[in-house]
Chains A and B, each alone.
Chain A
Amino acid sequence: MDDLIKEYEGIIPGKLLEDIKRESKEQSLIKKQVKIVLDKVKEEYENAKIDPGEAIGIITAESFGEPSTQMVLRTFHFAGVAEVNVTLGLPRLIEIFDARKIPETPSMEIHLKSEYKNDPKQVRKIASLIKETKLEDISREFTVNLVKSSIEVSLDRELMRELSITPTLLVDSVQNSLKTVSVKYKDDDALVIKSKSPEGELSDIYRLKEKAKNAHVKGIKGVTQVVPVKTGNEYVIQTAGSNVREVMEIKEVDVENVLSNNIFETAEVLGIEAAKETIIREAVKVIENQGLDIDIRHIMFIADVMTATGNIKGITRAGITSEKESVLARASFETPIKHIINASIIGEVDSLNSVVENVMVNQAVPLGTGLPGLLAKMSAKLEKEDKKKK
C-alpha cells in the first residue's frame, strides 16, 4: 500500500497523500480501491491547478477586498491576552501590507526552555527579568536642587529589593544611560544626579530631569509589559514591546522559539524567510480574529511578492510598485507626473511587456488567451494557393 502511495509523490501534494493514507486505513480499503482514489484525486488536483496566464494578482486582490470592506465596519477594536493590547482588524492589516517599520503595538511571544516552562514561579521570575525598569518606576520623587544644580531622586527601597536591584547596579546603569553626568548613591535611599558641565542653564537641569526619569535600569529595552500566559500545558510570556535580539541572550529563553510581530526586526535577526512566515502568521491572526475566511494561499502569495527582492517591500508606491520595470505601469499607480517626467529625463524605454501599459496604449494584454503568441506555418498554404492560380 505504502509503495503505491509513494508512486504518487510529487504528483499529488504531500498533505493530500497523508489524508488518503489515513482515510484508506480507517475505511480499510484494498489496494485496488486505493488506486482508484489516487487516480481520482490526481485528476481533481490537475483540474484545480491555476491555468497559465491566469491573473492571480487580481483574484487575490478581490479575495482580500471584499472581506476587508466588512472589516471597516468593526474597526479599531482592541483585543488580546490579559493586559497586553494588540492592534487588530483593518489597521493592523494595513500595517502589515504597507510594511510599516515599527508596528503600532509591537509584541513578542517568548517560549521558555523545557525545564522552566511548566513552573509558574520560575516563569514569573524570568518575566520580571525581561520587563524594562526605568528609574521613574522605582523612585518616589524627583527633586531639583537649583543651588547645587543637581537632581535628587528618592528611591523606593522595597520595590528595589523586590526587583533585586542593588545600589551599585543602579548607579552603574543610570551612569551608562545618561553619560554626561555624575551619579552618587546616598545612604538615605537617594540618588544624586549632577551634570558634569558646570555652568548649565536653568532649562538644562529640567531637561536632565526628564531624561533621568527614562533612564534604563534593568531588563530589556522597549519591553513595557510582560504577561505570563498559560497555553496548553506550558507557560508563554507575552510582551508589549519587541526586542528579539536581546531576549535571545537570556539563557532561560528557548532561542528557537521567540516570535515577534515586528516584521522588519524578524528579517534583521532571522532573515527574509522568517519575515515571510511572520507576514503570513500576522495576517492570518487578524483574519481569523475577525471571523473572516480568506484562503491562506492568497496570503502566502502576497507574502511571497513582498519578500521577492530579499528586502521587505510594502504594497505602496515606495514598495513593490517602485520595482516595476515599466514606466507606464508605475505612473498608473500613484504620482504619475513624477514618474513620467523622470523617465523622460533619463530616456527610459517601455517595452510594453505587462498588463497595465498595454491597457493604456489600447493593445491586447498578455493574460489568459492573450499570453501565447501564435506562429502559423504559412508556406504550405501559400504553395496551395499558388498552384490554384496556375
Chain B
Amino acid sequence: MSQEIKPVRIGMMSFAHMHATSYAASLTRIPDAELVGIADDNPERGKDMAKRFKTQFFGSYEELLQQDIHAVIVCSENIKHKDLVIKAADAGKHILCEKPLATNIEDGKEMINHCKKHGIRLQTAFPFRFSPAMIQAHQAVMSGQIGKILAIKGANRSKCPGGWFTDLEQSGGGAVMDLTVNVADLIRWITGAEIDSVYAEISNRINHKDFDDAATLTLTMNNGVFATIDPGWSKPESYPFWGDVTLTIVGTDGAIWVDLFKQKMNLYSDQSSSGSWEYWGDDIDMLMVKAFVNSVAFGLPVEPSGEDGLAALTTVVAAYESANRRIPIKTVDIGCNPAV
C-alpha cells in the first residue's frame, strides 16, 4: 500500500562513535540513499565530517530533524542514545541506533515504547548479522546441517578505543558494555532462544583503570543451550588488526567455526615498523546500512530491531551484576522478561 521512498533522505546525529564515518561512507555509496546533513554537539567534529562527506552541517539536532529527511543514524556516546532517539522519534524519523542500544534496561524500554507509539522503525546497529559468512552459518544451522545446537563459544576483542569509551559517565561501562551485545545478538539469532541467565568474571587487568577491559561471560539460553562470550579490549596497540569476532557452534551432528574477519592478507611494509593484516572481505557496515535504507524505502520491519538491542543489552546488565555478586543472574530478575 505504501509507496517506495526514493531516495531515502538520511541525517546523521553525532560522530562521537567512530562507526559513524563508516555508516556515512556507506550512505554515499548506496544509490537509493542521500546523506542530507550532519548534526553534532561537537561542532568542530560535525563541520569536519560534513566537509569530508560533502554534506551540510546543522548547528543543532533540532535543526537537522526539521529538515525533509526520512531517517537518522544515531552515533553519539552510549549515554546520549536515549535522548537522541526520543528526539528523532518525536520528529517522525526512522532510526538506526549504534549499539549498545542504551546503557540500562529502563532507557532501552522507554526508547522502544516511544518509537512504537510514534510508528517509528528502530534498528539496532548489529552489523555482524550481515556478514556473508555469518549468514551462511545461520542458514547451515537452520537447515539442520549440524543437528541440534548444544553450545556456542563466542568472542569479540579489540584494542582499547580510549576517548569517551573509557569514561564510564558517557559509556555506561567498559569492554563488556562495548563488545558483548554484538555477540549476544548473534547467539540469540542463531539459537532462536532467549537469554535465561548470565554468569560473568570481569576485570580491569589490561589497563588497570576504573573501567572493565577483560571478561568472560557464560550465558544459559531458555532452550538449555549454553554459550560463552569474551568481550575484551585485550588486543595490544601493536596487534596487526583492530581485533576479531569468532564463533564456534557445536551441534549434535557437527560443528561450525566462524572467524568473521578472516578475509585478510598480511602486509609487511618498510613504511611501517610492524606488519599488519589488511581486510578484503565484504563491508558489513555497508550491508547493514543498506538493509536499513531498504526497510525505510519499502516500509518493511527493521532487523535487528530495538527489541533485539534490548535483549542483547540485558546480557551486559546481568553480567555486571553477576560479577558484583559472584552468582549467575536470571534476566527476569533484572526487569527483562525474555518472552516479551
Say whether A associates with B: no
Contact residues of A with B, CB < 8 Å?
A: none
